[in-house]
């Protein structure tokens, strides 16, 4: 027989003597790992195990669901949709031209407190159909510029809002440029209701993401004005509206914190809101809502978790029940060798 | 094509032939990077990843940081490149060691110590005892006065015996000093890799004797990598150097084998790729439409009115990149990793160590373990594979008188020898000297035989026990001690054994009376037809038949007295034939034929080759597992059938049926084939053991002319015995079954099996007595046949199951994240925003989801014992039940379901004021990680500590890693993870995702597990509920149905096997294992049995 192909390409002259006599190669060391004999527990899906798992889940989930639902119900929320109401009747057919005109956009809203609201009461604005997560939008910012004064001209990622009149914009990018610029003034019983607009952004953002030596520069100076202008004398770390806005939302419907009202509101109190309806959501039929909301341990008013927990818990209970019934009606012995019919002789041709 | 090597001409050959620098290296420092990259990028998957990575460099379209693809890509490439580089570096080191080794070479007439790499063709190289031969040499001198030397060739062919090599006749007697100055020319063929042939001529120039052409054979050469043994020194002329030596030429990288599973994974990858393209097209169109209708109104996005020309492509390309993770980049790494671990498990397995020799099993090919679990056909060799290849002389028939049978009349034979019955003496003489055995006297005075063939070893040892001791071989003089006297024979010629001639002969001259004798031994059909006219060979034919029925190997011994002139005349022809360069083997055979006739047949010897331990059990188990066995042997039909019967290969009469295909002409074969086929078709419906037997001759005709019919037969038949087949026919049969899309496994031990081993999907070599040739060519080498059971049922099956899970899971986890991205794109204006950040995406694929699944290499669905008890369960692997488009569809559906769960719950739980991008993305990601941990846990059958550690530890690691990243102010997700972990709603969301995601999966699995369990499930239940597992479903014996048309062979099993096989003479230590009967009459042989127990692991040199 002529073929003598070495098993691997390494079978050279020099290595030949090392690979050839496998006879004296050392024996494998015995260990439970190498022999694949590590002690193992092998759970199987017995009816008892599965049914009790489902029961357990339902026992845990239903109370949590109830608690969550209660938490959500406890939250008092006043929502006022104003984007249509705040456009004068004459302009209702052409809201876009209204919002782009220089007309007076002040508008007054009346909010009635339905239930007692404990402080702090959070004031949100809610935008609908606003794609802060659009790829073009979400990337158009320069984190280094926001943080550090020295890289103020680092605007490469900010296109198309990177510079105006040949000068870099600080803060640059579409997000900053389109900063929300409606303003709200609250009054209760003809008294100014103070809205605390500090500490509405994340502390970590103020401390680490937005520099306290970075000042707005050349902002909203271009031909196209997007949103709010910034006070060039206030450092970015104190421009909390901007900081909040720049935390882009992942969903096209989102709320952003506007401020906090730090007193309780009693039922049937009426709040008058004087708002400046500046922000253009009309060109894309976006909604604007003003939201006053208390909070719970679970966050804002959101029934989803509670309902979902109740549903899952209920379904698990139902499954457990039906498994039990099926098991009792039609018991089946596990591992019954009679199910092993090799007579079909699988390999047979 | 020939090369002319001028001995001792220093300059001339330098340009013509390469120097002796050996290079096994694939790369050089310069070409490593391009060459390696080129190789890696020749795979489709890698090209795909590279394309994706390059697209990501375009910042306009990339949804994530390019690092998320480049990182893993570079990592993967770096891993395989550094593995290659390390291998290559080791090769370089070993080459360097070999190249810089100092050797003695004659330069300008003086012996010098130079580096091996500086040897040139034509140089004379001097070797001392135990030196390694640096290149292929033609011997011209040795320390032995007869011009002999001994070499060990184990590095070359794995055979451990010493081989004799001799100097050519012309060089005989040249003085030691003159060897330095010798001049001449060697005419030799161009380098090839045939290590058994070297057809060359040597002509020495004056003053060195005559101008005669002296023939050279492989016997006159010592090849690179051999070792010089038992010889003080030797010198030779370098004829082939460097990479042109026989060893260098036979080096080569075997073609990588692809497992059925890999093929399936590739197919599924292709399907996913198509799916991805469809998704990309749909989303791309949707994205462009949305952009033109909606996005223009979204003033804050500031879409330019006129985009660049490629604008329409941007969104589809973005989605292509976003969806690129559908094909997981980690799958290649994971698979490579687990595959090498499977191979390690095989290497480590202490139950597959051959404790007799201490050889552990070894997986040379680490990539095809899964295929072991999918084997459908096993093609096995007989000798040395099913049998031990340990020959024991059992019986003989001398001139019609039987010696050795149930009653054990070995005494009779001994008496006959003692009684100097001339026939018997002649017979025993042939046994003793008609061979190529080398007797070696050990220091204690005992004689060791170095035999190349086990049969010869058995015969010589038997002869020695009959007091005909082959005592010494001194050059051409053979000494035999017989009854105290010494008989000398002069060995004139050896007519060697070849597989075509099937016999070997020696021509000796009796030194006492000067008679020239031709002694022959060989297969019956190679001896009996050449008996002299008057001799009755009928008895011998019957004897051979009878012995073969007992499963014994038979050899016929014959002799003839030659006349002086007849011999002289023939001798010239033989010499001439031996020196031909073209077709030497054939010419020699022809010349030998002229001498080997007119035999006086002396008798028949019968040698038993014991079955290996556990062979019948192994075959039975594996056949229960649905594997079909074919026996391919070079042995006789009857012997093959007997062995087949005794090892459960075929069932005896009532249950089994043997169909014979024979015939010498096309017509006969055709008729017989059709008849067998007809019977097969009828009986194929009933579970009866039908096997067909075909011999090499009929097989050749069938394969040539009736390939279609034979293929059909091959498909129908579960068992086949092919006897008298050549190595190439073995390979052809493997090829045939492979062409029918069967997974084939070839197992063999000898050089004649190498081709079939290489041809088959899986080649298993038994590192046995015939050397390591087969083991080296094979993908797996095992010590004993019985380990095959464990190799297939345990290692193959587990590997298949584990890879099935791992590969599908890899797709599942990539799809989950990809579906989430796709869903997210619908709420982000179909603009191709990535929900997840680059770091998370990268870590998700490479780390979070890879580690837990890697420990699935420890998963065992059923214990080894259960599998062995119910080998039928292998069917699930063979039929590919665990990885196929429908199981994949299940995983696909699961990934879709889980993606929906994670996405819907996340966007609802984190709506309104909580819908911050980074937070939402981490919620979704951790949802995926949680689900995945539970999916792995649910799919794991056996939990070891490592599994718990990997699954739950990974979950912990996920948080730890993200906390660390969240602590870096520069990172996008600064403080995110801390914020989330403080929120009760985060944890509540996680539990909701787990419960909603796993509940239906668990319920479905439970229902299927309990009410429609697969066999695996049932066995799992049975195993864990405890209690005895009953084997119910053996193939029930069926009523016999005899097909009248086909004459069944008589395959009656010998009634009682053991007593029949009392060794006639030699009593090897192992023979008592099988012989249970009264074996006492041989007590007095025991004293001498030490002789025969000195087995050296010799190898058949055919």
Token readout for A322 is 């039906």
Cα–Cα distance list, B183 to B97, B167, B206 (Å): 31, 15, 8
Q: How confident is the model at residue B899 (pLDDT cuts 50, 70, 90)?
A: very high
**Rounded-to-integer distance, Cα B109 and Cα B99, Å:** 23
DSSP collapsed to 3 states, B785-849: CCHHHHHHHHHHHHHHHHHHHHHHHHHHHHHHHHHHHHHHHHCCCCCCCCCCCHHHHHHHHHHHC
Mean pLDDT score, A173-188: 91
| pLDDT for B685 | 65
pLDDT of residue A6: 36
**Token pair recorded at residue A98:** 């209204």
CA distance B567 to B635: 33
Interface of B with A in 769-828 (CB under 8 A): 772-773, 775-778, 781, 798, 824, 827-828
Question: What stretches of B528-614 show up as alpha helix (H) in DSSP?
Answer: 538-549, 564-578, 584-595
CA distance A300 to chain B (A): 8
Contacts of B793 (CB under 8 A, 6+ apart): B621, B622, B625, B864, B867, B868, B871, B874
Chain B nearest C-alpha distance from A90 (Å): 22
User: Cα distance from A248 to chain B (closest Cα, Å)?
Assistant: 6
Between these two residues, B385 and B1066, which has the higher pLDDT value?
Answer: B385
What confidence score (pLDDT) does residue B807 get?
Answer: 92
Which A residues, 6 through 45, put their C-beta within 8 Å of a C-beta on chain B? 6-18, 20-25, 27-30, 34-36, 38-45
As beta bridge partners, residue B603 has B398, B557
| Mean local confidence (pLDDT), B169-174 | 75
Q: Is the CB of B158 inside 8 Å of chain A's CB atoms? A: yes
Q: Give the distance from CA B992 to its chain's centroid.
A: 52
The distance of A214 to chain B (nearest Cα, Å) reads 17
Query: What's the whole-number mean pLDDT along residues B686-713?
Result: 83
Q: How many CB atoms lie within 10 A of CB B706?
A: 20
Task: Give the nearest partner residue to B225 out of A16, A130, A338, using CB atoms.
Answer: A16
Distance CA B474, CA B1085 (A): 28
Q: What is the mean pLDDT of residues B258-262?
A: 82
Where do the structural domains in chain A lie, given as residue ranges? 47-75+300-327, 76-294
CA distance B703 to B222: 40
pLDDT digits (tens, 9 = 90+) for A263-294: 999 999 999 999 999 898 998 889 999 999 99
CB contact under 8 A, B626 and A345: yes
Give B10's pLDDT tier (boundaries 50, 70, 90). Answer: low
Please say whether the beta carbons of B128 and B111 come within 8 A. no
For the question of residue B194 being annotated catalytic, the response is no
pLDDT in tens, B463-521: 888 888 888 877 778 888 887 788 888 888 888 777 677 788 899 988 888 888 899 99
In contact, B766 and B386? CB cutoff 8 Å = no
Tell me the two tokens of residue B734: 């493997």
> Does B968 touch chain A if contact means CB atoms closer than 8 Å?
no
Is the pLDDT score of B953 beyond 50? yes
SS3 B395: strand
Tell me the sheet residues that pair with B391: B609
Q: Indicate the pLDDT class of residue B1069, thresholds 50, 70 and 90.
A: very low
Contact B298 A36 (CB under 8 A): no
DSSP, residue by residue, B632-668: E-SS-HHHHHHHHHHTTSS--TTTEEEEEE--SSHHH
What's the confidence (pLDDT) of residue B675?
A: 85
DSSP bridge pairs for B763: B746
pLDDT of residue B411: 65
Q: Does B1009 touch chain A (CB under 8 A)?
A: yes
Rounded to whole angstroms, the Cα distance separating B730 from B744 reads: 12
Q: Which residues pair with B398 in a beta bridge?
A: B401, B603
pLDDT category of residue B254 using cuts at 50, 70 and 90: low
Phi–psi pair at B155, nearest 5 degrees: -70, -20
The per-residue pLDDT for B1043 is 34
pLDDT at B714 over 70: yes
Cβ neighbours of residue B180 under 8 Å, at least 6 residues apart? Answer: B106, B109, B110, B111, B124
Sheet holding B200-204, edge to edge: B2-7, B184-189, B200-204, B214-216
Inter-chain contact B828–A133, Cβ cutoff 8 Å? yes
Q: Measured between alpha carbons, how far is B410 from B417 in angstroms, rounded to an integer?
A: 11
Q: Is pLDDT above 60 for B602?
A: yes
* Number of alpha carbons in the 13 Å side-chain half-sphere of residue B350: 11
Q: Which residues pair with B660 in a beta bridge?
A: B693
**Which residues on A lie below 8 Å from B376 (Cβ)?**
347
Identified catalytic residue from B136, B144, B262, B381:
B381
Q: How far is CA B682 from CA A109, B630, B675, B717, B718, in A?
A: 93, 21, 11, 12, 14
**Taking Cα atoms as reference points, which of B894, B918, B903, B927 lies closest to residue B827?**
B903
Tokens of A141: 């910012």
Mutation test of the interface with chain A: which of B300, B758, B768, B794, choosing the one with the most A Cβ atoms within 10 A? B300
Q: Alpha-carbon distance B43 to B340, whole Å?
A: 20
The conformation of residue B511, written as its DSSP 8-state character, comes to: T
pTM assigned to the model: 0.78
Window 186-205 of A, Cβ < 8 Å to B = 202, 204
Phi, psi dihedral angles at B378 (to 5 degrees): -115, 125
B73 to chain A, closest Cα gap in Å: 25
Helices B330-348 and B797-826: crossing angle, nearest 10°? 160
Lowest mean pLDDT among B299-308, B386-395, B1071-1080: B1071-1080
For A:87-116, CB contacts with B below 8 A are: none
Which positions in chain B touch A224 (Cβ < 8 Å)?
A: 302
Using a CB-CB cut-off of 8 Å, the residues of chain A touching B988 are 64, 68, 298, 305, 309
Chain B residues in contact with A250 by the CB 8 A cut-off are 824, 828, 835, 907, 910, 915-917, 920-921
What band does B1066 get if pLDDT is binned at 50, 70 and 90?
very low
CB pairs under 8 A between A and B: 408
| pLDDT of B211 | 59
**Token pair in block for residue B504:** 């070997």
Contacts of A125 in chain B (CB under 8 A): none
* Residues A312 and A57: beta-carbon distance below 8 Å: yes
φ, ψ for residue B931, nearest 5 deg: -60, -45
Residues 937-956 of B with CB under 8 A from A: 941-947
Query: Does the pLDDT value for residue B448 go beyond 50?
Result: yes
Q: Provide the total of helices (H) and of strands (E) in chain B, helices listed first.
A: 40, 33
Mean pLDDT of A175-190: 91
- Who contacts B746 (Cβ-Cβ below 8 Å, separation ≥6)? B378, B379, B380, B730, B734, B753, B756, B757, B759, B760, B762, B763, B764
């Amino acid at each position: 027989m002529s073929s003598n192909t070495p098993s691997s390409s390494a079978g050279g002259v020099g290595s030949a003597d090392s690979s050839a006599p496998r006879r004296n190669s050392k024996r494998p060391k015995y260990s439970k790992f190498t022999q694949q004999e590590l002690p193992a527990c092998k759970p199987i899906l017995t009816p008892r195990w599965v049914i009790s798992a489902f029961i357990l889940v339902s026992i845990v989930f239903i109370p949590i669901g109830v608690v969550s639902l209660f938490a959500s119900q406890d939250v008092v929320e006043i929502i006022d949709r104003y984007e249509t109401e705040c456009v004068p009747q004459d302009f209702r057919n052409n809201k876009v031209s209204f919002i782009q005109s220089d007309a007076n956009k002040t508008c007054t809203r009346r909010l009635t407190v339905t239930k007692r609201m404990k402080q702090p009461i959070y004031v949100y604005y809610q935008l609908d159909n606003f794609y802060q997560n659009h790829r073009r939008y979400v990337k158009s910012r320069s984190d280094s510029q926001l943080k550090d004064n020295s890289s103020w001209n680092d605007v490469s990622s900010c296109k198309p809002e990177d510079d105006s009149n040949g000068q870099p914009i600080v803060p640059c990018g579409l997000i900053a440029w389109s900063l929300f610029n409606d303003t709200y003034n609250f009054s209760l019983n003809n008294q100014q209701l103070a809205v605390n607009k500090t500490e509405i952004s994340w502390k970590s953002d103020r401390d680490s993401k937005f520099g306290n030596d970075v000042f707005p520069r050349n902002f909203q100076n271009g031909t196209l004005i997007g949103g709010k202008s910034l006070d060039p004398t206030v450092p970015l770390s104190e421009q909390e509206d901007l900081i909040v806005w720049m935390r882009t939302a992942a969903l096209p419907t989102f709320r952003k914190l506007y401020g906090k009202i730090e007193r309780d509101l009693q039922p049937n109190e009426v709040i008058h809101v004087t708002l400046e309806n500046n922000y253009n959501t009309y060109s894309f039929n976006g909604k604007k809502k003003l939201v006053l909301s208390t909070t719970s341990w679970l966050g804002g008013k959101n029934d989803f978790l509670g309902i979902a927990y109740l549903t899952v818990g209920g379904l698990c209970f139902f499954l457990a029940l039906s498994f039990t019934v099926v098991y009792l009606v039609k018991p089946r012995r596990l591992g019954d060798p009679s199910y092993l019919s090799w007579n079909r002789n699988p390999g047979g041709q | 094509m020939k090369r002319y090597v001028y001995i001792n001409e220093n300059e001339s050959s330098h340009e013509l032939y390469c120097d002796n620098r050996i290079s096994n290296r694939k790369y050089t420092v310069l070409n490593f990077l391009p060459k390696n990259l080129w190789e890696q990028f020749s795979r489709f998957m890698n090209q795909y990843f590279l394309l994706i990575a390059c697209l990501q460099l375009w910042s306009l379209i990339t949804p994530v940081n390019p690092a998320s693809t480049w990182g893993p890509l570079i990592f993967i490439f770096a891993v395989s490149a550094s593995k290659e580089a390390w291998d290559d570096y080791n090769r370089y080191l070993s080459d360097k060691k070999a190249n810089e080794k100092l050797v003695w070479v004659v330069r300008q007439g003086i012996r010098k110590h130079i580096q091996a790499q500086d040897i040139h063709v034509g140089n004379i190289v001097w070797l001392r005892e135990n030196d390694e031969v640096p290149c292929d040499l033609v011997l011209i001198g040795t320390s032995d006065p007869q011009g002999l030397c001994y070499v060990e060739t184990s590095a070359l062919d794995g055979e451990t015996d010493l081989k004799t090599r001799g100097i050519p006749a012309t060089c005989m007697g040249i003085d030691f000093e003159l060897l330095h100055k010798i001049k001449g020319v060697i005419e030799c063929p161009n380098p090839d890799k045939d290590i058994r042939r070297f057809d060359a001529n040597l002509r020495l120039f004056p003053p060195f004797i005559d101008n005669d052409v002296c023939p050279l054979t492989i016997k006159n050469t010592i090849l690179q990598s051999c070792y010089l043994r038992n010889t003080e020194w030797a010198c030779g002329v370098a004829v082939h150097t460097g990479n042109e030596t026989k060893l260098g030429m036979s080096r080569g990288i075997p073609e990588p084998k692809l497992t059925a599973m890999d093929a399936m994974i590739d197919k599924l990858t292709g399907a996913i790729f198509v799916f991805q393209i469809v998704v990309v097209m749909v989303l791309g169109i949707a994205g462009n439409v949305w952009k033109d209708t909606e996005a223009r109104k979204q003033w804050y996005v500031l879409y330019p009115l006129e985009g660049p020309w490629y604008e329409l492509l941007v969104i589809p390309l973005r989605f292509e990149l976003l969806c690129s993770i559908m094909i997981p980049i980690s799958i290649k790494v994971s698979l490579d990793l687990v595959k090498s671990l499977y191979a390690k498990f095989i290497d480590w397995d202490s139950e597959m160590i051959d404790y007799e020799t201490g050889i552990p099993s070894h997986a040379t090919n680490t990539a095809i373990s899964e295929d072991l679990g999918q084997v459908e056909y096993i093609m096995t060799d007989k000798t040395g594979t099913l049998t031990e290849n340990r020959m024991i002389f059992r019986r003989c028939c001398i001139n019609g008188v039987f010696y050795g049978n149930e009653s054990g009349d070995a005494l009779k034979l001994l008496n006959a020898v003692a009684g100097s019955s001339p026939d018997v003496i002649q017979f025993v003489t042939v046994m003793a000297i008609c061979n190529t055995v080398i007797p070696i006297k050990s220091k204690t005075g005992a004689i060791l035989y170095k035999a190349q063939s086990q049969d010869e070893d058995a015969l010589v040892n038997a002869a020695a026990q009959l007091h005909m001791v082959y005592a010494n071989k001194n050059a051409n003089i053979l000494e035999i001690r017989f009854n105290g006297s010494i008989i000398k024979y002069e060995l004139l010629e050896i007519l060697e054994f070849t597989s075509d001639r099937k016999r070997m002969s020696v021509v000796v001259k009796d030194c006492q009376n000067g008679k020239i004798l031709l002694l022959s031994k060989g297969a019956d059909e190679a001896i009996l037809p050449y008996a002299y006219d008057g001799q009755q060979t009928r008895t011998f034919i019957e004897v051979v038949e009878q012995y073969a029925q007992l499963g014994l190997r038979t050899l016929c011994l014959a002799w003839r007295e030659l006349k002086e002139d007849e011999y002289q005349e023939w001798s010239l022809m033989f010499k001439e034939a031996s020196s031909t360069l073209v077709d030497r083997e054939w010419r020699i055979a022809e010349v030998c034929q002229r001498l080997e006739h007119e035999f006086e047949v002396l008798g028949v010897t019968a040698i038993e080759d014991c079955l290996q331990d556990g062979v019948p059990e192994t075959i039975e188990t594996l056949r229960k597992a649905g594997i079909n066995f074919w026996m391919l042997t070079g042995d006789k039909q009857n012997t093959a059938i007997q062995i087949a019967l005794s090892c459960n290969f075929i069932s005896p009469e009532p249950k089994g049926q043997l169909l014979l295909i024979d015939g010498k002409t096309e017509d006969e074969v055709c008729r017989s084939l059709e008849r067998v086929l007809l019977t097969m078709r009828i009986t194929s419906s009933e579970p009866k053991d039908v096997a067909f037997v075909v011999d090499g001759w009929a097989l050749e005709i069938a394969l040539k002319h009736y390939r279609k019919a034979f293929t059909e037969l091959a498909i129908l038949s579960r068992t086949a015995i092919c006897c008298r087949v050549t190595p190439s026919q073995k390979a052809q049969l493997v090829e045939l079954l492979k062409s029918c899309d069967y997974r084939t496994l070839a197992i063999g031990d000898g050089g004649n099996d190498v081709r079939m081993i290489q041809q088959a999907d899986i080649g298993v070599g038994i590192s046995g007595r015939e050397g390591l040739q087969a083991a080296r060519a094979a993908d797996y080498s095992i010590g004993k046949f019985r380990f095959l059971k464990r190799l297939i049922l345990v290692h193959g099956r587990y590997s298949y199951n584990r890879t099935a899970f791992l590969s599908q899971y890899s797709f599942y986890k990539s799809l989950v994240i990809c579906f989430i991205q796709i869903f997210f794109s619908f709420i982000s204006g179909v603009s191709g925003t990535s929900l997840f950040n680059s770091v998370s995406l990268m870590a998700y694929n490479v780390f979070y989801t890879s580690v837990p699944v890697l420990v699935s290499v420890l998963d065992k669905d059923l214990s080894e014992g259960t599998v062995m008890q119910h080998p039928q369960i292998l069917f699930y692997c063979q039929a590919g039940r665990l990885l196929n488009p429908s199981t994949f569809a299940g995983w696909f559906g699961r990934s879709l379901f889980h993606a929906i769960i994670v996405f819907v719950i996340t966007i609802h739980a984190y709506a309104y004021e909580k819908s911050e991008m980074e937070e939402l993305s981490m919620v979704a990601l951790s949802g995926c990680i949680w689900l995945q941990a539970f999916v792995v846990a649910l799919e794991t059958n056996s939990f070891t500590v490592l599994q718990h550690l990997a699954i739950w530890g990974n979950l912990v690691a996920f948080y730890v890693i993200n906390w660390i990243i969240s602590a870096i102010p520069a990172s996008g997700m600064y403080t995110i993870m801390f914020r989330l972990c403080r929120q009760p709603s985060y944890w509540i969301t996680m539990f909701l995702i787990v419960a909603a995601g796993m509940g239906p999966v668990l319920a479905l699995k439970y229902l299927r597990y309990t009410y429609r369990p697969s066999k695996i499930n049932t066995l799992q239940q049975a195993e864990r509920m405890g209690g005895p597992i009953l084997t119910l479903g053996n193939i029930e014996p069926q009523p016999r149905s005899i097909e009248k048309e086909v004459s069944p062979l008589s395959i009656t099993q010998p009634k009682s096997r053991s007593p029949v096989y009392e060794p006639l003479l030699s009593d090897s230590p192992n023979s008592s294992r099988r012989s249970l009967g009264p074996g006492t009459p041989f007590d007095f042989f025991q004293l001498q049995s030490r002789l025969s127990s000195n087995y050296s692991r010799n190898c058949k040199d055919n």
